[in-house]
Amino acid sequence: DLVERLLRKSASNRPSMKSLTQHLFFTSVKFDWAAAAQGRLTPPFVPPVRSKMDTHMFDEYPESFGSAKFKLVSVGIVDHIFLLSAAWSPTVNFI
C-alpha cells in the first residue's frame, strides 16, 4: 500500500513524512533516516560489473512485445515516477 499512497496525484493525499517514517516497511528494518539524509546508506546488494557499459545483470527482452504476457505501464505513471525521483534528494533533512 505504500507505493500506491506515494503515487497519489494530489500531494495533499500522499502520506506525510512522519507517517512514512512510521510505516512498517521502514520500521521493520530500523531504517536510518539520518544516514539516508547524509547519503551514507550502504546498498543491500551491489551487482558485480566489469565496466561502465556492463549489462550482464539485466535480462534480455525482444524488440517486439507481440506476445507479451504483461501490461505496459501508461506514460502518465512513468512520467509521474520520474518526476518524483528527480525531485528526491538524499540531502533533504527528513527528520
**% of the chain with per-residue pLDDT over 90:** 18
In this structure, is residue 83 part of a structural domain? Answer: yes
Determine the average pLDDT of the residues in 44-48.
88
Q: How far apart are CA 45 and CA 75, in angstroms?
A: 29
Q: What is the mean pLDDT of residues 20-46?
A: 88
Residue 22 lies in a domain: yes
pTM given for the model: 0.43
In a domain, 55, yes or no: no
Which residue range is the domain that position 32 belongs to? Answer: 1-42+70-95
Burial 8-37 (b: 16+ CB within 10 A, else e): eeeeeeeeeeeebeeeeeeeeeeeeeeeeb
Confidence tier at 50 by pLDDT (50, 70, 90): very high
Residue 95 pLDDT? 46
In a domain, 84, yes or no: yes
Name the domain count of the chain.
1
Answer whether residue 75 is part of any domain.
Answer: yes
